[in-house]
Structure 1
Amino acid sequence: MAVLLEAGLRPNHHLLDIGAGSLRLGCKAVEYLEPGHYWATDASREIMLAGHAAELADPARLPLDHLILDRDFTFPGVPPVITHAIAFAVFPHLGLARLQTALTNLRDFPMLEKLLFTVFLAPDLTLAALPFRQRDGVVTHRAKAPYHLLAEDIEQIALDTGWSLNRSETLLPRGQVMFTATPTK
């Protein structure tokens, strides 16, 4: 929640939580946002439903139809009112092609102001070809999960799909790096 608040999230905004899982963020965001302003997608709707039942202080603030099964980053049924989106710890499990798909499809949200997402980075092309030990010890890979990417590849995909990027220097769990993407007009 802290990074979303720093990114300008306000109670009247509409948040899309990509890869929401059991609503670890959702339980905080649903209380902060106006009722019905939180949307979640995940590859498992069952996990989101379990989170809805177990994690929310007031489940009535989050309609069940706001929990959307989405394995392909097509965001089916998510309304165009979304102003902010976050994908925390999603792309380290899926890699560059899935990030590109998400960035491409999120451009369909005309009111989207910011997307926050995390990745693991390798420092250069030589090290990217090898398993790379992140600062907390987790070993990431170019061709299997957990994936690491090159910053220049992320920047190029963002440019190609209509986003400008800002890299955060905030230290995140397991050595992940957060980017804030803003749509270019």
Structure 2
Amino acid sequence: MNIMEGINSYFRQLSSKDIEEKKHRGFVGGMWDEIGALQFEFLVNSGLKPKHKLLDIGCGCLRGGVKYIDYLDLQHYHGVDINESLIKAAYKEIEEYKLEEKQANLIVSDSFEFEKFGTQFDYMVSISLFTHLPLQNVVKCLIKARESLTETGTYYATYFESPFPAYLDDLEQKPGGKVTKYDRDPFHYSNQEIEYIAELAGLKVEIIGDWGHPRNQKMAAFRHKKTAKS
């Protein structure tokens, strides 16, 4: 049983026909070109170089991944997702973008098994992952990320922001109109809760906030405490 079953709809497997018809692009939220370019430009502006090793957590079918793979050095892109059908779709996208020679590393995991890659990462990124996870899963993800992050590395992750902790009411995110919730998908978190989650995971967090996301997802940067920006 997929651990996300009952939490969100992300466990649903797409058919081969769905993938051939590119329905996977809509399944991960659409806005393929816009959000793919947005996240790529953000990471490059934040210091990502071709020589760096990147882990894309919740990589899906490579909305941003195709841009990272093209940019990074050989074998330096690593992607992990819980949904096996999306990883199959990811390989189709790699073929379409003619990126096979870059030898991207992709795995399916439902428990954040980043150690399977056998390396440490300079950068990590999650776009629209924490938005679908309850607190305990976010904490687990961050703990596992900490174990695979280089001493000077940074993990950038997006979330839907609420005005204060334990915000029980539904909240319409503007722009975008997505309605987020405290106790079910899509989830929202206050900045204080993000800071608390980071503390539980043994990390320091920098709240970046707005970064131009069309559906109002905010950005946070997680780092090891001894190397975190003050």
TM-score (norm 1): 0.91
Partners of 1:90 and 1:157 lie apart in 2 by 15
Match of 1:180 in 2: 221
Match of 2:12 in 1: none
Match of 2:13 in 1: none
Q: How many matched pairs?
A: 182
Residues 88 and 118, structure 1, Cα contact 8 Å, conserved in 2: yes
- 1:21, distance to aligned residue in structure 2 (A): 0.7
Among the aligned pairs, what percent are the same residue?
Answer: 27
Q: How does 1:30-41 map to 2 (within 5 A)?
A: 30-41=69-80
Residues 139 and 200, structure 2, Cα contact 8 Å, conserved in 1: no
- 1:45, distance to aligned residue in structure 2 (A): 2.9
Partners of 2:55 and 2:149 lie apart in 1 by 13
- 1:125, distance to aligned residue in structure 2 (A): 3.8
State the Cα deviation string for residues 127-151 of structure 1 (Å, max 9, x = none): x111111112211000111101121
Partners of 2:63 and 2:191 lie apart in 1 by 27
TM-score (norm 2): 0.74
Deviating more after overlay: 19-28 vs 40-49 = 40-49
Mind listing any 5+ residue stretches in structure 2 that lack a counterpart? Answer: 1-39
Match of 1:162 among 183, 202, 213: 202
- 1:41, distance to aligned residue in structure 2 (A): 0.2
Match of 2:42 in 1: 3
Match of 2:212 in 1: 171
Partners of 2:129 and 2:214 lie apart in 1 by 13
Partners of 2:174 and 2:99 lie apart in 1 by 38
Residues 74 and 102, structure 1, Cα contact 8 Å, conserved in 2: no
Structure 1: which amino acid aligns with 2:57?
Answer: I
Q: Deviating runs (4+, > 4 A) in structure 1?
A: none
- Residue 54 of structure 2 corresponds to residue 15 of structure 1: yes
Structure 2: which amino acid aligns with 1:132?
Answer: L
- 1:76, distance to aligned residue in structure 2 (A): 4.4
